[in-house]
Amino acid sequence: MVSSRGHHPGRRRAVVLAAAVMAALLSVTAACSKGNDSSWQDGAQPGSSQPAEPDTKAKATISEPAADANNVPASTAIAFETTDAVETAVEVKSADGEEVEGNLSADKKSWLPTGALDWGKTYTATVSATGDDGKTATAESTFTVMKKPGNTVAVSSFLGDGAVVGVGMPMIVKFGKAIPQGDRADVQRRMKVTAEPAQEGTWAWISPTEIHFRPKEFWKANTKVHYKLQTGGLPLGNGSYLRNDLTVDLKIGPALVMTVDNRTKRMTVTKDGKVIRTIKVSLGKKATPSSSGTMIVIEKKRETVFDTFEELGPEEGYRTDIDFAQRLTWGGEFIHAAPWSEGQQGSVNVSHGCVNVSMKDGEWLFGQTRIGDPITVKGTERKLQNGNGWTDWNMSFAEYAELSAIPLSDQ
């Protein structure tokens, strides 16, 4: 009888064979490990000296308009977020495949169509975000624009295409009703002025129904100005919407600037920085002084009639034919020819507040000026009141910028 703890030739051979196979496998594994260290690093194994590559895959989401949204304003922008994107693109198409033109914002967080979308139409917005790995993520939102509302507010420009104006001319936009204070920034963000050559400037709310734009200094002579309002369909609350977009292209003329000094009773006229004429003037007498400040030529009339009986009463009022009249204030101050005061011009103030010049000088000056040319009157007893005419230049640029609904630093 053989004990189970005794020698068994077959079992011994099996154990030896298994040990040999295990040794061979360990040898192969060790050899592979020594020959390819990066296999551990690529797997981000603990203790590796090189960190794993970060996930750089781009992502995109659209926040407005929400998917399947209805009654979307025709002025809507596409608001979105992207992460890890080195390139961002936005495409908007109508249901019939027509592509909408538009532009990305500077911060690449929104996209605005170049014009209002069509009332009642369905559109699909697609935002594409491409990462540095070359892969592109997309987000889509299909939405429907509201039907045309019944309560719309007109937007208009004082100036039209092709106008040539003076270096002090503000860009003037008017609204058919008062724009609520809380909506003015939204409106202003849809308003853009481009000048060639470029010049710093700002919009300023002159009243709830009127907004102006002026540069920091007078416009440079011969500047080309383009301004665009993407306001069509913009909601104002209480069920009202701005009616239309607006674009204007115009030109600034030569730099003609008039300066009147009450002390010398003279007007100095410069053109592109050179004095081209000095004119004797008579300003407002003490009872009706002319305003001191910087004004703008608002309108020009070769012939007109001044009738002040209603304003001044039967004792002071008058009705007089006037030649070469150029309006400076809403209150009735003009530059105009005054043959009756030519003997006092250059020495005594006798007018009712206007800048009197001779017939000869009045005709010459009328032929030189444009709407928007500036005139500064100095040294009179009365200061010009802001709002009495286009008084955009009667304040510093910092004061003017305070009338903007958007801080100058954010424009």
Handedness of CA 215, 216, 218, 220 (dihedral sign): negative
By CB neighbour count within 10 A (0-12 exposed, 13-18 middle, 19+ buried), where does 122 fall?
middle
What pLDDT, on the 0 to 100 scale, is given for residue 26? 36
Name the 3-class secondary structure at 59: strand
What are residue 259's phi and psi, to 5 degrees?
Answer: -130, 125
CA–CA distance, 125 with 183 (Å, rounded to integer): 26
CA–CA distance, 98 with 232 (Å, rounded to integer): 19
CA–CA distance, 44 with 47 (Å, rounded to integer): 9
Closest CA to 330 of 387, 260, 395: 387
DSSP letters for 307-329: E-HHHHHHHH--EEEEEEEEE--
Cα angle 342-348-349, degrees, rounded to a multiple of 5: 95
Q: pTM for the whole thing? A: 0.80
What are residue 188's phi and psi, to 5 degrees?
Answer: -65, -35
What pLDDT, on the 0 to 100 scale, is given for residue 20? 39
Q: For residue 65, say if its preceding peptide bond is cis, omega within 30 degrees of 0.
A: yes
Strand partners for 326 = 300, 335
Per-residue buried b or exposed e for 105-114, using 16+ beta carbons within 10 Å of the residue's own CB: eeeeebbbbe
Check: CB of residue 364 under 8 Å from CB of residue 344.
no
Residues in the chain, how many? 411
Average pLDDT per 10 consecutive residues for the chain, totaling 411 residues: 38 38 38 36 37 64 97 96 94 96 91 95 97 93 96 97 98 97 95 97 98 98 97 92 96 98 98 98 96 98 85 73 97 97 98 97 98 98 97 97 94 81
Closest CA to 373 of 326, 338, 337, 332: 326
Strand partners for 261 = 266, 378
Q: Where are the domains of the chain?
A: 59-144, 152-253+398-410, 256-380
For the domain 59-144, what is the CATH code?
2.60.40.3780
Same fold, 59-144 and 152-253+398-410: yes
What pLDDT, on the 0 to 100 scale, is given for residue 29? 38
Reported in sequence order, the residue ranges of 44-198 that DSSP labels E, i.e. its strands, are 59-64, 78-83, 87-94, 102-104, 110-113, 122-130, 136-144, 152-153, 155-157, 164-165, 171-175, 191-196
What pLDDT, on the 0 to 100 scale, is given for residue 28? 36
CA–CA distance, 190 with 183 (Å, rounded to integer): 11
Q: Which class is 256-380 in CATH?
A: mainly beta
CA–CA distance, 128 with 131 (Å, rounded to integer): 10
For the domain 152-253+398-410, what is the CATH code?
2.60.40.3710
DSSP letters for 191-225: EEEEEES---EEEEEEETTEEEEEESSSPPTT-EE
